[in-house]
Chains A and B, each alone.
Chain A
Amino acid sequence: MIFWIIVGWVGYVLLPWYMVEDGLWSFEWLFNGYPFDEDFAPALFLIGQGEKLWLAPLLIPLALPILLLGKPKSDPIYAKILILAGALGFGWLIAQGFGIGIRGFNFDWLKALFGEPKIRQFGMGYGAMLCASAFLFLLTQGIAARGAVNGDVFVVSAIGGVITIVTAFVFFPIANMLFSAFVTEDGAYSVSAFASKFFDDRLWGLGCFWGAKCGAAWNSLFLAIVVGLITTVLGLCFALVVTRSGLRFKRGIRALTVLPIITPPFVIGLALILLFGLSGSVTVFFADLFGVQPSRWLYGMPGVLIAQTLAFTPIAFLVLIGVVEGVSPSMEEAAQTLRANRWQTFRTVSLPLMRPGLANAFLLGFIESMADFGNPLVLGGNFDVLSTEIFFAIVGAQYDQGRAAVLAMVLLFFTLSAFYAQRAWLGKKSYTTVSGKGDAGVHPLMPNGLAIPVLAIATIWALFTAVVYGMIIYGSVVELWGVNNTLTFKHYVTAFSVRFEEEGIRWTGAAWDSFWTTISIAAIAAPLTAAVGLVTAYLLTRQNFAGKNAFEFGTMLSFAIPGTVIGVSYILAFNVPPIEITGTGVILVVSFIFRNMPVGVRAGIASMSQLDKSLDESSLTLGANSWQTFRRVILPLLKPAILAALVYSFVRAMTAISAVIFLVSAEYDMATSYIIGRVENNDYGLAIAYSTTLIFVMLASVGLLQFLVGRVQIGRRTQIGAERTI
């Protein structure tokens, strides 16, 4: 408690209250008239000079907890005062932050009440942030002191912290964005504005049944369902090949499945154009062979479907492999002992037990396809989908933010419905077959009738993926793609040349700027993502508290929201005080944390549900508190989950595009948005050379992460429980 009181006072008295313009890490303010200059002054000095008087009331909640020093926790006044001080301080901080903006009062009723004085304030800086966290944690300590969650300060604080940041960075921007669906052109709120945008033919038209175009909503839905089904089937084929066949190239297949995950967007689409486009090598070859006219069949639904299937099959595979391995062989052996043949065993025992995996794989494919932005952009042709429509509603010539918000709502509705459909389908049945004992045994081979088609499909698809990636590497070393096929390294040189001079290395290549930004942002975001994710997972699996379901939903929500929506909502919500972070690196880091956190949460939950609760209990019995238990007992056992979360968030931070494209700025340009710029410019050689480099960098970083975190074999069940849900 003392710690947070001190933090609060430091934030109020010592650090600049408002955002320092030159960025979080510049300390110029120390020398420029601090502490009296209005731009850099701490709150106390501002009030002392008669400025920003609305910050003065904060002194009361800051002073209140000091009264408690020396009082025992059991004193009933202790909890009351802490709650009062925390709630008052936090509430007032937020109220003044939203109430007073750059141009004075933000709400008309405030103007009516107090007139329109010349007051203004910018975004919150260090001081305000410290104060806010101090109030928040004083509040949670107060709640803990009242006996919530057995009076466990760590748990209550963690819950409070996670709820606050999820509210600030997920709920607030999304709600803000969705409200704009109801805004008419002159700024009033109206339901009819929403209705006219919602019941639009471009959204729900069914023209494709009689030769015209269908609405984007139907297109997206249909595409996502097909992609979900195909990726699930293909993923299952690969999983079966790896676990239940005698094939010798299993390692190769596993490697192939990693590739698309670490491939920057657009690249697969570009390779497909090179192969199957109007002048693509395969198209031309077959056109010559059969004497038919080459066509543009790739552009539209078929192209997007192929590209998305290539890109998302590995995700389905990774989900399914755990589940397929997790079906305990003893079940299958039991079935065979009861004289079922291999086909019956597979159909009636193995397959039903894989249901959670199948549902998860489908859901992931569905959501990824819905949110995918790069492939429809390159290959979509006249096939409009929601994600690209949202983008062009905002950046296109129509500048229609309300329409974007309506489209985003439709998209969100689809993804959330899929989420609930999955839960309903799985129901409350138990799929757990791994019980900790007697896991021994070998999975039976697939029945022949199944093995042959599965092997055939897997081989063909693997070959296809290999060809596509071959094309990518080839594309990066030819002069001018499709026109002049002379081999050259000039694209790599343009992008990554360095010069050695007296002052040291000069990074002269065009790509270095965005490259270093990307690496550092990804490196900052990854551990934070893992931390937030694992703490949340810990709360969800190990603690019981009121509103846990809503809490879980909130933390998973950002996963179902497509990146485009996040990007737009962030720029709308965080360009104005109190949280003013557009144009900084912070907004990129924040967006990555909340985009990728759900994976950390899921990985954490999966691992933690395998750790017996008795471990925590014995630690608690021995006198450790829950923070010590978390740090000393649970965390070390979670290394695989930590690694998964780290790798995933690092890789996603380097390959994500849909949210990023709205958030990059002059100083913080990311690799993917740079690559898009090159693609837009027909400069495919450079774009692909850059992407290829990124692929290798990511492979190296994943290896490095594995080395750093360490691959400790933990003495526990090696199987992954079948109860995983995403």
Chain B
Amino acid sequence: MKKLTNTLAGSLIAFAASLGAAQADKLTFYCSAQEDWCQLMARSFEDATGIDVNMTRKSSGETFAQIRAESSNPKGDVWWGGTGDPHLQAAEEGLTMEYVSPMRDQLHDWAISQAESAGNKTIGIYSGALGYGYNSDLLAANNLPEPACWKDLLKPEYKGHVQMANPNSSGTAYTTLASMVQIFGEDEGFEFMKGLHANINQYTKSGSAPIKAAGRGENTIGIVFMHDAVKQAVSGFPVKVVAPCEGTGYEIGSMSIIEGARNEEEAKKFYDWALSAEAQNLALEVNAFQVPSNKGAQTSESAPDMSQIKLIDYDFKKYGSSDERKRLLQKWDEDVSVLPQ
């Protein structure tokens, strides 16, 4: 009995002690960027504000699925990172909340137009252009010419050397499909996808997998976002990055506050902080080579120079809408994916 009283007394003291700490503010943070970047953002925000951060990292598709599943009882507060389409879709479905940050005047135009196209329910935090990368060792070993344009990839000598993700499962690959439709026009764009299909060795599930396989020497050319390719090159893999000569599409990595967030105030604090130059400079520490949306933030020397890349005028509103997405994907499924390779 005495033992029991002791335990009880001990635990009471423990509760009392935990009371002070437990009162601290907290934030549940869904992160769709790479793991180390997410970690760094979470820890730095804690240091900057003293708010406890609970971070979960999942791909943007997984996070979107989770937010939708939890919509009747939201668990998360803020969703940061990942390609813009699921953010736009979440805005369209009313899963995220409208917020106009006082930091807006510091941002590039493309970030603000992203926000405006979604009724201020999301905002751009970085951008990255689509392109491809190749493993220079493998290219040399197979005596292949160095590609420079999208159309180069259709050449028969690249048969079995090109990899891209499946547009049905990856936002990157859907951006590729939508970019081709916008660069070449819908009919020619689909002709391009059909020609490419003949050279593809595998449609991967995840968007950046093709360039990772290229880095490891499991594939020659991977169609990905250029910053992903740069990252492989910087990590020491023999990867060369190509900005295709016809011009290319791009993504805007976005951030949204979840509708019905339990810690709305903290979420807004995070939102403002994440748009600041100091927060966006953190990307360099973790080899994230996207272009930050804050005009004052630094860019890496290894990052692809956006001014040298021919960017198309990507129509996020049209190609991010679920109807257009469904139509293009269905067309791709019926006209392209069924062709023999």
Which A residues are closer than 8 A to B by beta carbons?
A: 21-22, 26-28, 30-31, 101-103, 122, 201-202, 207, 210-213, 273, 277-279, 293, 296, 299, 377, 381-382, 388, 392, 394-399, 480-484, 510, 571-572, 575-577, 580, 582-583, 664-667, 669, 677-678, 680-682
How far, in whole Å, are A210 and B64 apart by their CA atoms in the complex? 38
Given A382-B202, A666-B56: A480 touches B169 (CB 8 Å cut-off):
no
Query: Which of A273, A381, A575, A678 is in CB contact (< 8 Å) with B72?
Result: A575
The secondary structure that dominates the B interface is mixed
CB–CB B22/A28 < 8 A: yes
CA distance A664 to B75 in the complex (A): 13
Among A102, A277, A279, A682, contact of B232 (Cβ-Cβ < 8 Å):
A682
Indicate if the CB atoms of A396 and B218 lie closer than 8 Å.
no
**A contact residues around B22 at 8 Å (CB):** 22, 26, 28
A496 to chain B, nearest CB (A): 16
Q: Mark B10-23, 1 if CB is under 8 A from A, else 0.
A: 00000100110010
B170 touches A397 (CB 8 A): yes
A28 touches B232 (CB 8 A): no
The contact of B15 among A27, A102, A381, by CB within 8 Å, is A27
5 residue pairs of the A-B complex, CB under 8 angstroms, read: A381-B202, A397-B174, A480-B235, A480-B236, A682-B235
Cβ–Cβ contact A482 & B168, under 8 A: no
Q: How far is the CB of B233 from chain A (nearest CB, A)?
A: 12
Q: 7 closest pairs, A vs B, by CB?
A: A279-B217, A396-B169, A666-B54, A211-B340, A395-B62, A666-B56, A392-B169
A213 vs B200: C-alpha distance when bound (angstroms): 14
Q: How far is the CA of A395 from the CA of B262 in the complex (A)?
A: 24
- B232 to chain A: closest residue by CB: A682
Taking CB as reference atom, which chain B residue is nearest A295?
Answer: B160
Chain B residue nearest to A210 in the complex (CB): B340
Q: Tell me the B residues contacting A by CB distance below 8 Å.
A: 15, 18-19, 22, 28-29, 34-35, 39, 54-59, 61-62, 64-66, 68-70, 72-73, 75, 85-86, 89, 138, 142, 160, 166-171, 174, 201-203, 205-206, 208-209, 212, 215-219, 232, 235-238, 262, 325, 329, 333, 337-341
| B68 neighbours in A (Cβ, 8 Å) | 399
With A212-B338, A394-B65, A483-B236: A678-B35 Cβ-Cβ less than 8 Å:
yes
Question: Which one of A377, A677, A678 contacts B205 once the chains associate, using CB atoms below 8 Å?
Answer: A377
Q: Which of A279, A392, A481 contacts B168 (CB 8 A)?
A: A392
Report the minimum CB–CB distance from B224 to chain A (whole Å). 12
Chain A residues, Cβ within 8 Å of B19:
28, 31
Q: Which of chain B's residues have a CB closer than 8 A to the CB of A213?
A: 337-338
Q: 14 additional contacts, CB 8 Å, given A122-B73, A377-B205?
A: A28-B22, A213-B338, A277-B218, A278-B217, A296-B201, A396-B61, A397-B61, A397-B167, A397-B171, A575-B69, A575-B72, A677-B35, A680-B206, A681-B35
Residue of A nearest to B64 (CB): A399
Q: Please measure, in the bound complex, the distance between the C-alpha atom of A202 and the C-alpha atom of B329, giving whole angstroms.
A: 14
CB nearest neighbor in A for B35: A677
Shortest CB-to-CB span from B201 to chain A, Å, is 6
CB contact between A571 and one of B18, B66, B169, B262 (< 8 Å): that residue: B66
Q: Which residues of B contact A382 (CB under 8 A)?
A: 202-203
Cβ–Cβ contact A666 & B218, under 8 A: no
| A residues near B55, Cβ cutoff 8 Å | 666
Q: Report the Cα distance A392→B55, complex, angstroms.
A: 23
When C-beta atoms are compared, the residue in chain A nearest to B69 turns out to be: A571
Contact present for A273 and B66 (CB under 8 Å):
no
Nearest residue, chain B, Cβ from A666: B54
**Residues of A close to B209: CB separation below 8 A:** 680
A572 to B35, CA, bound (A): 26
A394–B67 Cα distance when bound, in Å, is 12
CA distance A480 to B217 in the complex (A): 12
- With A665-B56, A666-B54 as given contacts, are A575 and B73 in contact (CB-CB < 8 Å)? yes
* Chain A min CB distance to B40 (Å): 11
A665 to chain B, nearest CB (A): 6
Instruction: Name A's interface SS.
Output: loop
CA distance A575 to B69 in the complex (A): 8
Contact A396 B205 (CB under 8 A): yes
Measured CA separation A577–B232 after assembly (Å)? 45
Q: Residue of A at shortest CB range from B66?
A: A571
The answer on a CB contact under 8 Å between A102 and B202 is no
Tell which of B70, B203, B235, B325 touches A582, judged by Cβ atoms closer than 8 Å: B70
Closest to A577 in B: B73
A residues less than 8 Å from B72 (CB atoms):
101-103, 575-576
Pair B169/A398 contact, Cβ less than 8 Å: yes
A210–chain B nearest beta-carbon distance, Å: 8
- Within the complex, what minimum Cβ distance (angstroms) separates B302 from chain A? 17
Q: Inside 8 A of B70's CB, which chain A residues have their CB? A: 575, 582
A476 to chain B, nearest CB (A): 16
Question: What CA separation (Å) do A179 and B281 show in the bound complex?
Answer: 47
B residues within 8 A CB of A207? 338
By a CB distance below 8 angstroms, the chain B residues around A31 are 15, 19
CB distance from A521 to the nearest CB of B (A): 16
User: Do A278 and B56 have beta carbons less than 8 Å apart?
Assistant: no
Q: Are B218 and A392 in contact (CB under 8 A)?
A: no
Bound state CA distance, A709 and B339, in angstroms? 59
Tell me which of B39, B54, B138, B169 contacts A397 (CB under 8 A). Answer: B169
> In the assembly, what is the distance between CA of A382 and CA of B208, in Å?
16
How far apart are the CA atoms of A577 and B203 in the complex, in Å? 40
Contact of A482 among B56, B64, B75, B216 (CB under 8 A): B216
CA distance A669 to B38 in the complex (A): 14
| B contact residues around A212 at 8 Å (CB) | 338-340
Interface centre among A212, A483, A577 (most CB of B within 10 A): A483
- A28 proximity list for chain B (CB < 8 A): 15, 18-19, 22
Q: Is the CB of A576 within 8 A of B73?
A: yes
The residue in chain A whose Cβ has the minimal distance to the Cβ of B56 is A666
* Distance A27 CA – B8 CA, assembled complex (angstroms): 13
Residues of B within 8 A of A296 (CB): 160, 201-202, 218-219
- CB-CB under 8 A from B337, the residues of chain A are 213
Instruction: Say whether A666 contacts B28, CB under 8 Å.
Output: yes
B169 contact set on A, CB distance < 8 A:
392, 395-398
**Residue of A202, A377, A582, A682 touching B215 (CB-CB under 8 A):** A682
Contact, CB under 8 Å: B75 / A483: no
Is A483 a contact of B15 with CB atoms below 8 Å? no
| Max chain B Cβ within 10 angstroms of own Cβ: one of A27, A207, A210 | A27
CA of A202 to CA of B217, assembled, Å: 30
Cross-chain contact A398 with B168 (CB below 8 angstroms): yes
For A484, the closest partner residue in chain B by CB is B236
Closest residue of A by beta carbon distance from B204: A381
A102 CA to B70 CA, complexed, in Å: 12
Chain B residues closer than 8 Å to A394, beta-carbon distance: 65
Chain A nearest CB, measured from B28 CB (Å): 6
A684: nearest chain-B partner, CB-CB: B216
Instruction: Determine whether the beta carbon of B168 is less than 8 Å from that of A396.
Output: yes
Which of chain B's residues have a CB closer than 8 A to the CB of A293? 142
When distances are taken between beta carbons in the complex, the residues of chain A under 8 Å from B325 are 397
Most buried by B among A211, A398, A510: A398
Q: How far is the CA of A481 from the CA of B235 in the complex (A)?
A: 12
Q: Which residues of A contact B339 (CB under 8 A)?
A: 212
Give the chain B neighbours of A583 by CB distance below 8 A: 75
State whether A483 and B237 are in contact (beta carbons under 8 Å apart), knowing that A277-B218, A279-B216, A397-B169 are contacts in the complex.
Answer: yes
Residues of B within 8 A of A678 (CB): 35
